[in-house]
């Protein structure tokens, strides 16, 4: 799948893309919609979401308005994620594609950057995804953004206790060691997303549920989110060498739609893709099944403490 022309017809399929109002998420929403899917755009800001939807509809006037819908979703509030999932489940009887695209790469430390958002979103939507997977001819996929930067996760963080989900490091933007802390936090969140994907797939296989879970590294993309880990003075230079958001969206579109993935599930299940069709082993740590189970367990503990 080198370009959008190789995305198959998605008519009749329902997708949710978190963080779908800008960057790679916006391009992903646009391609899914132009290829026939009904797409829910998960975003906090109604005005930005509506602006994104209007932009896609004005460019592609043959897409009917009912095929693009804003789903109110504030990923910083666990209770709001639950509400959004319940709302979607009341609107739809199926969900074929879930793309956990929203991510944070910021100087400011936020606990939700630790992989919480995709975990809650998936767990709340699993009944709808499983119901879709049980139908004839289904092709259900859960795609979560990770990164080869998972290798920068701090060596001492083994996701053993809930404290490991919010390891702040230091956050002084003028301090070099602090900048390293930003990278290590980013790495920890991407490692968490990859481990989560692998453990999710293991659980789905154990239950014999026909869903493929994949992690994807879109590569260096010139978006505000993608450049959040870099100091400001580097950003103008990086924009010149990084991929455009439409190119950056291709790996996750491949994960979500490519026929090859459905045809060769054993090759792709629980894998990290760095380009269309290209799997990457990831670090030793990312393949540690005990670590993945531990992360799942402490995440469930942490969610219980916030009442979920």
The closest of 29, 39, 25, 34 to 5, measured between CA atoms, is 34
Helices of type H across the chain:
23-34, 46-59, 78-91, 116-133, 176-206, 235-241, 245-248, 250-257, 259-263, 265-268, 289-305
Choice among 40, 186, 254, 268 that is catalytic: 186
In the block, which residue shows the tokens 């953004």? Answer: 145
| Catalytic residue list contains 40 | no
In the block, which residue shows the tokens 């894998």? Answer: 271
Q: Strand, helix or coil at 4?
A: helix
Q: Residue 94 corresponds to which tokens in the numbers above?
A: 């199926």
Q: How far apart are CA 275 and CA 136, in angstroms?
A: 29
Which active-site residues does the annotation give? 186
């Amino acid at each position: 799948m080198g370009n959008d022309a190789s995305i198959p017809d998605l008519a009749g399929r329902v997708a949710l893309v978190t963080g779908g109002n800008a960057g790679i998420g916006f391009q992903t929403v646009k391609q899914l919609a132009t290829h026939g899917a009904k797409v829910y755009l998960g975003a906090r800001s109604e005005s930005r979401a509506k602006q994104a939807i209007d932009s896609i509809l004005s460019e592609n006037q043959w897409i009917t308005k009912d095929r693009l819908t804003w789903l109110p979703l504030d990923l910083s509030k666990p209770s709001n994620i639950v509400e959004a999932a319940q709302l979607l489940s009341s609107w739809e009887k199926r969900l074929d594609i879930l793309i956990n695209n929203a991510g944070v790469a910021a100087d400011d430390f936020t606990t939700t950057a630790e992989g919480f958002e995709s975990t809650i979103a998936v767990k709340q939507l699993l009944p709808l995804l499983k119901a879709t997977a049980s139908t004839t001819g289904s092709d259900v996929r859960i795609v979560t953004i990770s990164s080869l930067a998972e290798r920068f996760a701090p060596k001492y963080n083994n996701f053993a206790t809930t404290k490991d989900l919010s390891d702040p490091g230091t956050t002084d933007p003028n301090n070099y060691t602090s900048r390293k802390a930003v990278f290590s936090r980013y790495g920890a969140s991407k490692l968490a997303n990859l481990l989560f994907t692998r453990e999710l797939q293991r659980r789905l296989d154990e239950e014999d549920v026909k869903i493929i879970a994949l992690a994807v590294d879109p590569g260096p993309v010139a978006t505000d989110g993608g450049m959040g880990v870099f100091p400001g003075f580097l950003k103008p230079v990086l924009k010149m060498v990084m991929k455009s958001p439409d190119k950056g969206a291709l790996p996750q579109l491949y994960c979500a739609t490519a026929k090859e993935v459905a045809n060769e599930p054993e090759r792709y299940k629980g894998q990290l893709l760095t380009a269309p069709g290209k799997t990457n082993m990831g670090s030793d740590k990312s393949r540690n099944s005990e670590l993945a189970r531990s992360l799942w367990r402490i995440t469930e503990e942490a969610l219980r403490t916030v009442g979920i």
